[in-house]
Amino acid sequence: MAEPALKEESREIFDEGLNRGIEKLTSEKIEQVINAVLEDETGARLKVYVDTCVHCGLCSEACHFYVSFREPRFSPAGKVKQTLWEMLKKKGKVSPEFIRRASEIASTECNLCKRCSMYCPFGIDVAYLMLVVRRICHKLGVTPQYIQDTAHSHSATFNQMWVKDDEWIDTLMWQEEEAQDEIPDLRIPLDKEGADVFYSVIGPEPKFRAQLIYQAAVIMDAAGINWTMPATPGWDNSDMCMYTGDNEMMGRLKKAHFESAMRLKAKRIVMGECGHAFRSIYDMGNRWLAWQMPPIPVTHAIEFYYELFREGKLKIARKYETPVTLHDPCNIVRGRGLHEMARYVVNEVCEEFVEMHPNREHNFCCSAGGGVINCGPPFRNKRVEGNKAKADQLFDAKARGAKTLIAPCHNCHGGLEDIIHHYGLGLELKFLGDIIYECMEKGQGSEM
Amino acid sequence: MQTLYNFVSGPLVWLSFMIFIGGSLYRLISMAVLAKKKDPLVYVYMDWYYALRSIFHWIIPFGSENMKKRPVMTLVTFVFHICLIGIPIFLFAHVILWEEAWNISWWFISDPVADIMTLAVIASCIFFLVRRLVLPEVRYLTSYSDFVILAIVAVPFITGFWAYHQWFGYRLMLILHILSGEIMLAAIPFTRLSHALFFPVTRGYMGSEFGAVKNAKDW
Ligand code: SF4
Ligand code: SF4
Ligand code: SF4
């Protein structure tokens, strides 16, 4: 396994967004923006987190970046030291080059996975602090190019992938047709009012993984769910603006999403297997819109599958035979505690389940989350080498028999795919929905 | 010497207690007010049950995963904090002072035990110092103020031990002991020692977020 050749090289990573971004900065502008964000948008939490940190380093082992590189600057508090501590100490008088580094650290060296909050005795929320840094960099226009492009797509189209309105509808109808070859009376009900379930997905599904919509339709059909998908913008539940620090846009996206569900008078939103989208709807976007909890109930796919099996609405024809292991995605495990439900579903559908260690709330992040994978190719090596911890964890599960890796989150998929490839792990990667689709009894429900 | 002694053991005691109590109240209240103004969500998501659940796991030894992973550090931390708080309150010589001044008294620890506890505090401070110098991830975070804080905590115990055993120059040591104790007390609200004040708040808030909203453990 390759020794990370990172050391000083990360300073030289060229990124259009970062490098061009700082060309326009002046020291007055930097000072003004930093102080404005710190003054107007933060308060007691930031102050207490910074004052209370006793510089003990106990959070280090929590972070996969630190565990993989063993370099202090990758420890959670180390990242705060290089960014916020410095900004506070210098009262915002930092250089453009400093801002470039700060943006790189906050956007590509932290997945906002919150594992460190479970290791710091004080529960200091480094993920929150890194989001504040991203916010500052966003306001200074210094954000990695690839993720910024995604954020632009969100602002222009209300979805992450520049999918046009008619392309969206086309894709759904195309998947419906495809699925009808298998189950002739299957429907993907578009824009239907009063459904029990408003099903939403992330932008990349219609773009690259349309078969997931097909599979979801087959599951809905078999379980006899009264469901719908929206035909208008607001269908995409994903949210990269939450990760670039563009809170205003995050708010607009979530508003569109909630409102399209409400316009259709749906009873609840059920979403596909995505972690960050869940965080955006359940935890962050709603808060920006001043909803303590989401204005309409939100159910993640795992919880939904769990219900379907619990209530006997889905049946398995034959269990999945290959031994599986499960990656617990941070955003729905540390973010929603769905780990036991996930295990219930896995045991319903699979013959043999091998735990990876650590697991549940203590699982290591895939290193793709928090928008890091969305920062694109320039930061890919750092992200993959920065998660040797995950590779070791997977290797151990493999040594104990696991052949398939289940990752019920889109970003995790991207990240784990790279890790499996880079470290030559040879595990097959699947969504929970893939396996359910493969093993279920199909086509018996179909009342609409 | 006598005037100096009278001064540190008289007015300065008052002063240090006033700074400690007043300062602590000021810090806690001003933070609470600032939170109300700028981070009102803290109040919205704070949940007593889950806050206490988390705090509980973090104040019992080996109650969290991280503590189990670092048994030596955990042991030292707990011994250190227990002795650090226990000795000043329950030392016989201190209890006597309270009795003489206010005619109130309480249970005290025997002197030989206090001696061992004091040594434990001093040894812990050395452990923290070495750790700070030797472990790269801790060293990286260290600033010069961290050493000052460690000294503020260690000196009252070193001088107290010295004075109790009546070694060379113990009168001066006694004065230094009282003075350094007062400095430590007064420093609590205004240095990183304030982690003692804010621990329940930060831990409780994270416990509430994890417990009530995210349905997960945070230990
Ligand atoms: S990646 Fe996770 S563990 Fe590491 S600093 Fe960020 S939030 Fe903490
Ligand atoms: S564990 Fe907490 S207090 Fe210690 S260095 Fe990390 S963030 Fe600071
Ligand atoms: S992509 Fe998955 S593992 Fe990674 S941060 Fe998101 S939820 Fe966590």
pLDDT tens for B65-111 read 999 999 999 999 999 999 999 999 999 999 999 999 999 999 999 99
Contact in structure between A254 and A290 (CB atoms under 8 Å):
no
**From the CA of A299, how many Å to the nearest CA of chain B?**
13
Domain ranges for chain A: 13-143, 158-310, 324-439
Q: What are the pLDDT digits (tens) for A182-226?
A: 999 999 999 999 999 999 999 999 999 999 999 999 999 999 999
Q: What is the pLDDT of residue A446?
A: 45
C-beta atoms of A122 and B199 within 8 A: yes
Q: Does domain A13-143 have CATH number 1.10.1060?
A: yes
The confidence score (pLDDT) of residue A161 equals 95
Phi and psi of A429, rounded to 5°?
Answer: -105, 130
Q: Same CATH fold, A324-439 and A158-310?
A: yes
Q: Which residues are bridge partners to A199 per DSSP?
A: A270
Question: Best mutation site among A85, A122, A131, A359 for testing chain B: the one with the most B CBs within 10 Å?
Answer: A122
- For the A158-310 domain, the top CATH level (class) is alpha beta
CB B45 within 8 A of CB A291: no
Atom of ligand 2 nearest to the CA of A80: 7
pTM, two decimal places: 0.95
Q: How many CB atoms lie within 10 A of CB B129?
A: 15
Interchain CB contact of B70 with A (< 8 Å): yes
Residue-range domains of chain B with CATH: 2-213 (1.20.950)
A positions 73-102 inside 8 Å of B (CB):
73, 75, 77-78, 81
Interface of B with A in 103-122 (CB under 8 A): none
Asked if B199 has any chain A CB less than 8 Å from its own CB, the reply is yes
Residue A337 has its nearest CB partner, among B69, B195, B215, at B215
Place of tokens 């750790």: B131
Q: Do strands A197-200 and A227-228 pair parallel, antiparallel, or not at all (unpaired)? A: parallel
Q: Which residues pair with A324 in a beta bridge?
A: A353, A404
User: Is B192 an interface residue toward A (CB < 8 Å)?
Assistant: yes
Render pLDDT for A28-66 as a digit per residue (tens, 0 to 9).
999 999 999 999 999 999 999 999 999 999 999 999 999
For ligand 2, the distance from its centroid to the CA atom of residue A49, given in whole angstroms, is: 9
Contact A273, A433 (CB under 8 A): yes
Note the pLDDT tens digit of each residue in A139-158. Answer: 999 999 999 999 999 999 99
Q: Which of B143, B213, B219 sits opposite A118 (nearest CB)?
A: B219
Phi, psi of B168 (to 5 degrees): -50, 130
Chain B contact for A357, CB < 8 A?
A: no
Structure confidence at residue A4 (pLDDT): 46
How large is the greatest C-alpha to C-alpha distance in chain B, in angstroms?
61
- The torsion angles phi and psi of B5, rounded to 5 degrees, stand at -60, -45
pLDDT at residue number A8: 46
CA distance B69 to A351: 33
Q: Which CATH class is domain A324-439?
A: alpha beta
Q: What is the pLDDT of residue A365?
A: 97
Cα-Cα end-to-end distance for chain B: 52
- Residues in B closer than 8 angstroms to A43, CB to CB, are 34-35, 37-39
**pLDDT given for residue A12 in this prediction:** 74
Q: Measure B122 CA to nearest chain A CA, in Å.
A: 18
Q: What is the pLDDT of residues A219-245, one digit of tens each?
A: 999 999 999 999 999 999 999 999 999
Min distance A277 CA to chain B CA atoms (Å):
15
B217 touches chain A (CB under 8 A): yes
The answer to whether residue A9 scores a pLDDT higher than 50 is: no
Using the predicted structure, report yes or no on whether residue A164 has a pLDDT greater than 50: yes
Q: Looking at residue A445, what is its pLDDT? A: 55
Best mutation target among B33, B34, B45, B137 (most A Cβ atoms within 10 Å) is: B137
